Amino acid sequence: MTFLSGSLQAIQVELDARDKAQTMFDVDDVLKLCGDLQRVGLCIDCGHEQDGVGPHSERVVCEDCGEPCVYGAEACLTLMED
């Protein structure tokens, strides 16, 4: 894999994550999680809320579905921005 193809693949992963986050979660609900002092992450693959995830975490393995698709609340909110 060349550097360019690896970079394009990484960009596609981010675009897919953005699309999933925008369709799976409500912005107001994610904002509420950002305001809480809880460390909750959201799986953009199955929708599971996972405890113990830092607000800026990305691609944490989901305890429910096993995919590396859990994002911290603030990271998820960033994904949802247009």
pLDDT at 82: 57
How many domains does the chain contain in total? Answer: 1
Q: The domain containing residue 65 runs over which residues?
A: 3-80
> What pLDDT digit, counting tens, does each position of 27-50 carry?
888 888 888 777 899 998 888 999
Q: Say what the pTM is.
A: 0.76
Cα torsion 67, 73, 75, 76: sign: positive
> What pLDDT digit, counting tens, does each position of 45-74 carry?
888 999 999 999 999 999 999 999 899 999
**Among 11-15, 30-34, 36-40, 77-81, whose mean pLDDT is lowest?**
11-15
pLDDT at 18: 66
Angle at 10 between CA 72 and CA 69, to 5 degrees: 30
